[in-house]
Structure 1
């Protein structure tokens, strides 16, 4: 019975594999080291927010058999508004995915380097080429299976390390369900939510569900996939924070690899190897998802046919990967570009959230499957949070740029 239910896992696992990347793991490690379990609630909140948004886009994909990009394009009749929104979304997603690709490659390479002792400079391009081949295969099923496998590996690694750390269960529950904002924690809270609620995941999900489901009766399976997969992704992130909060409280964190030193009393010489496998899985999955997100968003908005087999889809996928490899090899990560990507994301996230809520109430598109009053109320709260998060991100980016 349980195994039958697990068979629904698929599109949701891609979303989890996407948001549990090197950035999320590093942020969770820093959050635990700086504030103990106090910010666990922010992770719980961000996972719930992600579930609400992903349930809506999954319903859009299954009922309308249309990706979020295509739905956004069709939502606006005025050509000026239509093409302005289309252009902004494509540019924002592409720049964002390309800007953070180098960091994802670095995270993946760090894992392999720890395992093998090879040079990071050699590993990064090799990983990029492997992801490139995966995307050029044009096989959604292959990517889905790889992502599911990586989520399983991350679950084993990070949940096991949490158990080995023996955290105080009472304190963990207090941190998860009794929100507090310690002094100096605002930026970390925003980072925890921002690395989990990812705009391009909305585009990926609305398209990927169409590969598995196409009937209203499939909505239940899709929701179960979301609850299991994204819940597991959240548990992975929480495990990192809890482990760090247990073993590293007060320790200055440079990279997530610092966690290996704290695990040696429990895992001995296997500590680095064990954690390296988890870091590699997080980096590889996030790298793949970044390129996939840019390609799916562009493909959906411009209504390219044949999905991942379309040569233009592959061209976007290749472009993002090559930019990432170039940035990694030449250590080209100018702060201005990263801040610009952050500023664009600060506008994009709340904008997409608002447009999604409008689309999900479009009876012509969804018929009887538009949002209920309850979902609209929950969705409105999520939109307000996204607006606050986006505004803070935008202001921070602009202040840093001129500062």
Structure 2
């Protein structure tokens, strides 16, 4: 058991990355709007996440490189390589800057639910002090922390977040038979955009890049493949339970509309007392803090791989990337824009970008020149194609639904 706990790390960071304020918001919307009926979509999302993240982790372990670095090395046609890396660079770096604003805003909502709002004006621009505090905390951890230190901090934060949301779900005393009925798939049409958002908030494209890089730093050699897989499955199932707990909490609340994730705490308080508000707020704060660290970290790894930079987390170029992402996140979060629409749009956009990144990953893990005997087996290819087909279907369905509403 102690050996297993010592090997926790990359999978925990992946869970911490996808259980951010976006997940809390989307799962809250799903619970408030559809009750328990979309729990099946979360279950499928976790399965798809495990399949894709295992490919990413295996790639990082066997090759000793990150996903963007592998794509850069394996694509021989210079025109195709430049176009592909530009597409990845744009989607992940720009997307993570937007995510960072939502992550910091979510952590701020958690603090404001427990304490109070603090704002000040500079040159007519209203700024939120808590945004600066959260951003500064993320900056400090990344600037001073080594990977091993970050692992320990994240394990603590993820356990705190997990306990907070799961305890709150238990406090709501859901009817077990009704919860179980939510794992039976129903009609897609009524909640298709919410389903896509649930997939997009669980199977996060930037996590595919982050995971390969983190695994390549923590372990070396095929002999560690077993522990890598066990750590991954444990971490993602834990993350899935947290997401489901949030849906259960939201379904038990008596609110009709979610403006932000903190509304969930307010909706539960009349039914279950101050303890529910406190647990939800702590969970939201932990979710925002963990995601506000992983988003800029993932962006830095992507840029490093795309541009072929050498050196690790302490290199100046690497630090410059995540510093820019944090700065943009603090700036946009401080402006006080309502986060729920941005977060929901970002999760849908994530669901649309996912098929493209998944196809790149699928192609690279089938390269015998890179992975040798550890390239995808026939079974892994069949399951991987099923996951990609699902993500493509949901992406097309999303575009069709949006066009219909124009």
1:155 to 159, 162, 174: 162
C-alpha distance in 2, partners of 1:396/1:100? 24
Residue 43 of structure 1: aligned partner: 42
Q: TM-score, normalised by structure 2?
A: 0.91
1:106 deviates by: 1.0
Does the C-alpha gap of structure 1 residues 346 and 226 become closer, same or farther in structure 2, counting only changes over 3 Å? Answer: closer
> 1:2-40 CA distances to partner (integer Å, 9 max, x unpaired)?
443333211000000000011111111111111111100
Cα distance in 2 for partners of 1:350, 1:201 equals 14
Note closer, same or farther for the CA distance 1:289–1:384 as it changes in structure 2 (3 Å cut): same
CA distance in 2: counterparts of 1:334 and 1:271, whole angstroms:
22
Q: Tell me what 2:281 maps to.
A: 276
Rate the CA distance shift 1:228–1:341 in 2: closer, same or farther, 3 A: closer
Q: Give the Cα–Cα distance (whole angstroms) in 1 for the partners of residues 104 and 291 of structure 2.
A: 9
The within-5 A match list for 1:218-297 is 218-248=224-254, 251-264=256-269, 267-297=272-302
Contact 1:346 1:394 in 2 (8 A): no
Aligned partner (choices 378, 383, 387) of residue 382 of structure 1:
387
CA distance in 1, matches of 2:246, 2:101: 22
Distance across 1 between alignment mates of 2:399 and 2:130: 34
CA deviation vs aligned residue, 1:298-342 (integer Å, no higher than 9, x gap): 112222222211111111100111111111223468999989977
Q: 1:136 aligned to 2:135?
A: no
CA spacing shift, 1:86–1:333, aligned 2, 3 Å: farther
Q: List aligned pairs for 1:301-380, cutoff 5 A.
A: 301-331=306-336, 345=350, 348-380=353-385
Give the Cα separation in 1 of the matches to 2:146 and 2:402. 37
Give the RMSD, CA atoms, in angstroms: 2.5
Give unpaired runs (5+ residues) of structure 1: none
SS at match of 1:184: helix
Whether the aligned pair in 1 keeps the contact of 2:60 and 2:66 (CA below 8 Å) is yes
CA distance in 2, matches of 1:357, 1:268: 48
Residues 17-28 of structure 1: matches in 2 within 5 Å? 17-28=16-27
Residue 210 of structure 1: aligned partner: 216
Change (3 A) 1:334 1:116: closer
Q: Is the 8 A contact 2:164 2:283 kept in 1?
A: yes
Bigger mean CA deviation after superposition, 15-24 or 350-359: 350-359
Q: What is the TM-score normalised by the length of structure 1?
A: 0.92
Query: 2:85 aligns to what?
Result: 86
| 3-state SS of 2:313 partner | helix
Any gaps of 5 or more consecutive residues in structure 2? 120-127
- How far apart, CA to CA, are the structure 1 residues paired with 2:385 and 2:295? 27
**3-state DSSP of counterpart to 2:308:** coil
Relative distance call for 1:397 and 1:180 in structure 2 (3 A) is: closer
Q: 2:187 aligns with which of 178, 181, 192?
A: 181
Alpha-carbon offset, residue 261 of structure 1: 3.3
